Amino acid sequence: MAPLLDVRDLTTHFFTQKGAFAAVDKVSFSVNAGETMALVGESGCGKSVTAASILRLVPDPPGRITGGEIIFEGRDLLSLTMREMRKVRGGRIGMIFQEPMTSLNPVFTIGDQITESLREHRSISRADAERRAIELLDLVRIPDARRQIHNYPHRLSGGMRQRAMIAMALACDPALLIADEPTTALDVTTQAQILELLDELKRSLGMAILLITHDLGVVAEYAQSVLVMYAGRGVEAAKVEDLFHSPIHPYTRGLLGALPHPDDDVDSEGRPLPLNEISGMVPALDAMPAGCRFEPRCSYAVPACKMTDVRLAPLAEGVRSAACLRAADIVQDQP
Amino acid sequence: MRNALAFWRRFSRNRAALLGLFIVLAIIAVAVAAPFLYPDDPMGMVAQPFLWPLQDPEFPFGSDSLGRDLGAQIFHGAHVSLLIGATATIASVLIGVTVGSLAGYYGGWVDEALMRFTEVVQTIPPFILTIIVVAIFHSTIGTIVVAISIVSWPSVARLVRAEFLTLREREFVQAGIVMGMSDFRLIVTQILPNSMTPVIIAASLMMASSILIEAGLSFLGLGDPNVVSWGAIIGAGREAIREAWYISALPGIAIIAAVLGLNLVGEGLNDALNPRLRRR
Amino acid sequence: MQKVVKRNILGYKNNESKSQRAPFHSTAGSLWTDGAQERLDPQRFHVPALIKPVLSRLWRSVAIVVAIAALNFIIVHMAPGDVADVMAGESGAASPEYLADLKQRFGLDQPLIVQFFVYMGRMAQFDLGYSFRFGRPVASLIFERLPATLILAIPTLMLAFVMGSVLGVVASRRVGTWRDAAISVGALVFYATPLFWIGLMLIILFGVKLGWLPTGGMQTIGANYTGFAYVLDVGRHMILPVVTLSLFYMAYYARLMRASMLEVFGQDFIATARSKGLSEGRVAYRHVLRNALLPVVTVLGLQVAHLLGGTVLVETVFGWPGLGRLAFDSVLSRDVNLLLGILLMSSILVVSTNIAVEALYRWLDPRIGAA
C-alpha cells in the first residue's frame, strides 16, 4: 500500500544577502497511515523547515521550495493551486507548533479559533460548529469545555493552550498531524501528558503523526519510524527499534551515546573523546563541507569522506538506510 | 572604532538613510554658505517686486512683494531653521533625560510624581502651548526654543525612563552600587551611556518636528521678527498668493526637504542601531 | 548564518525566551493550570471589567484637568508685567476702573496662595474670565466656536484613521512592490510637509486655478442658504480644510499601520492561522489587522492633542471660524485669558478622547481586562 505521505528529494532554499542556502537538501521520507514518524535532529538541522515545507508555509521571501515532490494521498502538494492547498491545510493535514503561548491569536476566544477552522472547511452552522468545538475540547481533555470556548488564550496555561491547539488542528479530522516540537516549551510533566494525549488520539482517530523533535527519548517512546537529520540532510532512516538497537550513522551513534566506539576512546589525532557528546559544531550554512557534512566531526571518517557527497542509501537488509560511506564497515562491527 | 565602522556599514546599506543624510548635509551647506553667497541683509529690498523664479538671472529664485531676494531669504532661513531645530532638540533631550533618569533610577514616588507630570504635559495640545508661551513672553529665538522644548521633552523622558528601568537591574549597575558609587556617578557614568541609543534616534526625529513647529509659529507671525525664517516667508507670501504663489511655494519645499531628510536619517539610525528590535 | 535561517522558519525564533518576544505575552499571571477548576465566569466577568477601569480613568482625567488649570495659573503669573494687565490684554483696552475691579475680583492684592484658590474656584465653575478683544466672557466664546472646530476635527480624524489604516494595510500586504513603494514614499513626504503649506497649495490649485472649491470661510457670504442647501454649502467649504488637515495624519497612520501589520505578520499565531487553511486575505484582515490596530489606537489620544494644534494653522489659512482661529486672534491681541481658556478646553477634549480610547482598547484587547 502506498504511504500516506511520501516526501521525495525535498529541497528548500533560503535566499539571504549572503547567498542561497539549502536549509533542506534533498530530504526523502514517508509516513504510513496510522503511524508516528519522527524527524529528529539538533536545532537548525532543517527539521522544522521540512515540516513547514510540507504545508508550503515557508515564508517567501526569504525561503522557497526549490525541488522535490511531496506526495500526499496520491497528489503532489507542490503542484496544487493555492486554493487546493488551503483545503489540505487544516483539512487533511493539521499542524501544531512549538510555542503554545504565542501560537494562539490573543484577541479571539478559543472557541472562535476552533470554529474558524471548521467553518473554513465545512459548510456547517455556527451552532453546530460550536457544538463540535466543545466536543473537540472534551476530546483533548480540557475541563469544562462549554465554558472554555468563551475564554481567551491568555487565561489558559501553556499545557492547556497546547491542548487547545491540538483541538484546533484536529477539527476537520485530518489524516496527518504535523507536530513541530509540540512539547519543547512545556514543563516536564506537561510534556508527558501532551505526548500521551497525542498518542491516544492517534490510535483512536486512526491518523498519522509527523513528530518533529530533538529528543530521542520521545522518539523511542512514541514513534514507529524515524529519520535522523543533520545539516539539512537525512542521514539515517530506520524503524525505531532498529535505530536504537543498532544505530549505523556515526552521527546517530553520537546522539545515542553509542560511543566509545570500536576505535577506542580517541579521535583521529589521539585525543580522548568525551562520552555522549559529539565534538565540534554543526557547520554554518555558508561553510558547508563539500563532501559528507558530518565528516569534520566524525571519528569514522576516511579521506574519501571529504570528497564524496554521500546520500541516504538503502543498506543490504533494505528496511533501513544511512548516508555514510562506511556504513557497511560499521554494520559489520556491530556486536 | 570598529563599532563605528560596523555601524556605518549598516547605515550606508540603507539607501533611503543615505539620501536623508545627503539632504541634511546639503541643507547644512546651504546654511553655512548663506553669508558668503548673500552677504547683504536678506531683508533688503534689492530687486523689482514679484520677479518669478528664473525670470531674472540675477535673482534665480525670484523676489517677493517688497522686492527682497527670495534666494537670500531661503538660504538665510536654513540657518534659522537648523539653529532653532538643533537647540530646541538639545534642550528637550536635556530636560527629558533628566526627568526620565530620575524617574527610572529612583522609582517609587519620584517616578510616580514625574510621570504624572509628564502625562499632564502630554495632554496639553503641544502647538497651542507653544503659541501661548511665545505670545506671553514675546518672540525671540530664545523663547521659541524654550516653547518648543517645553512640549517636546515628554517623549524623551518616557524613553529614558524605560531604559533605566531595565538597566537598573543589570549586573554592571548592581556592581556599581556594591562598590559604593554615588547615585549621580552611577546615573551619569554607568546607566546613561548605555541608554543613549533610543535617545539619539528620537533626537533626529525631534529635530524634524521642531523645524515644523518653528515653521508653524513663524507662519502665524509669531517668529522672531528680526530674522528670516521659512515659515515667515510663506506667511508673508500669503497676501499675494493669487498672483505670486511661488513666494509661498519655494520655502515650503525647503521645509519639506529638511524635515524629510531628518526623518530619513532618524529611521536609518533606528534600523542600524537596533537591527531586530521593535520600534517603540 | 544558521541563526538567521532559524529565525526565519515560519517567522518564529527557536531559541529566544518567551519574555524576549514581548508583545503578546500575558499580562496577568495565568489563572489556569492544568486540570485546575475554573475560577472565572467570563459572562459575569465582562461588564464590570469594562466599566471599573474606565471609572478610575475618569478620576485620573479629572486630576489631569485640575493640574492643567493649575499650570494655567502658573503661566499667568510668570508672564512679564502686572497680572491684571496680562489678564486685560495688552492693547490697553481696559479702563483703570476695570483693572481695579479685576484686582479685587481675583484677589490680586491677596497672597499668592489665596489667589491660587480663588482662581481654581473660578475654574471649577468654568468661569474662564473675560475677553477684552471680543468684549465677552471667554467661556461663551469658546462654546460658540467649538462646533466649527469639531466639524473639522472629527471628519479629519475619521478620514485620516480609516484611509491611513487602509493604505498601511495595502502597503504591508504588498511589501516590496511598487504599490508599497508608492504608499511609503507618499506617506514619508506628507509626513514632512507643513499643514499650512499644503493648505495654501490646495487653495491655489483647487480654488484659484481650477476654481472648483471655495478658498475660505465656512459658508458663502450673503447667500443665506437654509436647510439642505446650507449643509451642502458648508460641506463644500469643509473639503479643502479637512483634506489639508488629514494628509499629515493619514501619512502618520499609514506608516504606523504598515509597521504594525508587518510586526504582527511575523507572529507565531499567523503561522497557525495559515496552517488552518485560511486565505491570505482572511489571515490579513481577521488575524493580523485586529492585532495591528492595538498600537495604532493607543496613539489616537496623542494625535488628537497634536491635531488641535493643527486646527490653529488650518483655520487661519482657510479663515474657518473655529477655536483655532479664535486662538490665533487672541494671540495677536495677547488676550491671555482667552488663550488659557482655549488651552484648558482643548486639554479637556484630549482627556475625553483618552477615556474613549481606553474603552476602545479594552474592547479590542481582551487581555487588558484581566489585569
pLDDT of amino acid C9: 33
Report yes or no on B45 lying in a domain.
no
Chain A residues whose CB is inside 8 A of the C34 CB are 157, 159-160, 190, 193
Chain B residues whose CB is inside 8 A of the C79 CB are 136-137
Neighbouring chains to A with at least 3 Cβ pairs closer than 8 Å: C
pLDDT of amino acid B69: 76
Q: Across all residues in chain B, what is the average pLDDT?
A: 84
Test C189 with B242 for CB contact under 8 angstroms: no
Task: Please tell me which residue of chain C has the smallest CA distance to B205.
Answer: C192
| Listed ranges A57-66, B144-153, C46-55; the one with the highest mean pLDDT | B144-153
pLDDT of amino acid C45: 43
Give how many domains chain B has, as a whole number: 1
Order of strands across the sheet that contains A233-239: A93-96, A176-180, A208-213, A36-40, A225-230, A233-239, A321-322, A313-314
- Determine the structural domain holding residue B197 and report its residue range: 2-39+64-277
Q: Which of A105-114, C130-139, C198-207 has the lowest mean pLDDT?
A: C130-139
Whether the per-residue pLDDT at C13 is higher than 50: the answer is: no
Report yes or no on B231 lying in a domain.
yes
Biggest alpha carbon–alpha carbon distance for chain C = 84
Residue C214: asked if its preceding bond is cis (omega within 30°), the reply is: no
Compute the distance between CA of residue C258 and CA of residue C307 in angstroms, rounded to an integer: 21
CA distance A14 to chain C (A): 7
Chain B residues whose CB is inside 8 A of the C343 CB are 124-125, 128-129, 132
For the stretch B156-188, pLDDT in tens is 999 999 888 888 888 888 888 888 888 888 888
- Residue from C6, C16, C34 to probe the interface with A (highest A Cβ count within 10 Å): C34
Sorted by where each starts, the structural domains of chain C and their CATH numbers stand as 136-364 (1.10.3720.10)
Average the pLDDT over B7-26 and give the result: 85
Give the residues across from B59 on adjacent strands.
B56
Compute the distance between CA of residue A155 and CA of residue A166 in angstroms, rounded to an integer: 17
- DSSP character for A294? T
CA distance B266 to chain C (A): 12
Chain A residues whose CB is inside 8 A of the C5 CB are 14, 16, 21, 23, 44, 49, 285
Report yes or no on B104 lying in a domain.
yes
**Angle at alpha carbon of residue A56, lines to A52 and A57, rounded to 5°:** 55
Compute the distance between CA of residue A183 and CA of residue A195 in angstroms, rounded to an integer: 8
- Residue from C76, C200, C206, C346 to probe the interface with B (highest B Cβ count within 10 Å): C200
Neighbouring chains to C with at least 3 Cβ pairs closer than 8 Å: A, B
Neighbouring chains to B with at least 3 Cβ pairs closer than 8 Å: C
Report yes or no on B172 lying in a domain.
yes
Test C2 with A44 for CB contact under 8 angstroms: yes
Give the residues across from B69 on adjacent strands.
B63
For the stretch A2-55, pLDDT in tens is 788 888 888 888 887 777 888 888 888 888 888 899 898 887 788 888 888 888
One-letter amino acid at C291 equals N
Per the listing, cell 451642502 goes with C232
Whether the per-residue pLDDT at B86 is higher than 90: the answer is: yes
Helix (H) or strand (E) holding A165: helix A158-170
Whole-Å CA distances, B196 to A262, B174, B190, B265, C241: 58, 19, 11, 16, 40
| CB atoms closer than 10 angstroms to residue A220 | 15
Compute the distance between CA of residue A294 and CA of residue A302 in angstroms, rounded to an integer: 12
What ipTM is given for this predicted complex?
0.86
Output the nine-digit C-alpha cell for A259: 560511543
CB-closest option in C8, C24, C365 to A102 = C24
Chain C residues whose CB is inside 8 A of the B216 CB are 194-196, 309, 313
Estimate the share of chain C in helix, then strand, then coil, as percent rounded to the nearest 5: 75, 0, 25
> Which CATH code, of 3.40.50.300, 3.40.640.10, 3.30.479.30, 3.30.2420.10, is assigned to A5-223?
3.40.50.300
CATH 3.40.50.300 domain span(s) along chain A: 5-223
pLDDT of amino acid C42: 40
Output the nine-digit C-alpha cell for B219: 507662519
Per the listing, cell 491547539 goes with A165
Compute the distance between CA of residue C264 and CA of residue C291 in angstroms, rounded to an integer: 7
Total-model pTM? 0.81
Instruction: Determine the angle formed by the axes of helices C300-318 and B108-123, rounding to 10 degrees.
Output: 30
For the stretch B205-216, pLDDT in tens is 899 999 999 999
Whether the per-residue pLDDT at C12 is higher than 50: the answer is: no
Output the nine-digit C-alpha cell for A33: 497511515
For the stretch C306-323, pLDDT in tens is 899 899 999 999 988 999
Residue A260: asked if its preceding bond is cis (omega within 30°), the reply is: yes
Whether the per-residue pLDDT at B108 is higher than 80: the answer is: yes
**Angle at alpha carbon of residue B171, lines to B167 and B172, rounded to 5°:** 80
pLDDT of amino acid C14: 35
pLDDT of amino acid C35: 32
Whether the per-residue pLDDT at C50 is higher than 70: the answer is: no
One-letter amino acid at C86 equals V
- DSSP character for C25? -
Report yes or no on B44 lying in a domain.
no
For the stretch A119-156, pLDDT in tens is 888 888 888 888 888 888 888 888 887 888 888 888 88
Backbone angles phi, psi at C173, to 5 degrees: -80, -15
Compute the distance between CA of residue B74 and CA of residue B255 in angstroms, rounded to an integer: 10
Whether the per-residue pLDDT at C62 is higher than 90: the answer is: no
Q: How many CB pairs under 8 A join A and C?
A: 166
pLDDT of amino acid B174: 82
Compute the distance between CA of residue B213 and CA of residue B131 in angstroms, rounded to an integer: 10
Q: What is the DSSP string of B146-209?
A: HHHHHHHHHHHHHHHHHHHHHHTTSHHHHHHHHTT--HHHIIIIIIHHHTHHHHHHHHHHHHHH
Report yes or no on B50 lying in a domain.
no
pLDDT of amino acid B2: 65
Task: Please tell me which residue of chain B has the smallest CA distance to C194.
Answer: B212
Report yes or no on B194 lying in a domain.
yes
Chain C residues whose CB is inside 8 A of the A143 CB are 35-38
One-letter amino acid at A266 equals V
pLDDT of amino acid B234: 86
State the distance between the two ends of chain C, measured CA to CA, in whole angstroms: 40
pLDDT more than 70, % of chain B: 94
pLDDT class of C83 with cuts at 50, 70, 90:
low
CB-closest option in C8, C21, C38 to A144 = C38
Task: Please tell me which residue of chain C has the smallest CA distance to B116.
Answer: C64
The SS3 of residue C175 is coil
B98, B278 Cβ separation under 8 angstroms = no
State the distance between the two ends of chain A, measured CA to CA, in whole angstroms: 34
Give the residues across from A137 on adjacent strands.
none
Q: What is the CATH number of the domain that holds B128?
A: 1.10.3720.10
pLDDT of amino acid C87: 62
Compute the distance between CA of residue B133 and CA of residue B139 in angstroms, rounded to an integer: 9
With a CB cutoff of 8 Å and minimum separation 6, the contacts of B57 are none
Average the pLDDT over A305-316 and give the result: 75
Task: Please tell me which residue of chain B has the smallest CA distance to C68.
Answer: B120
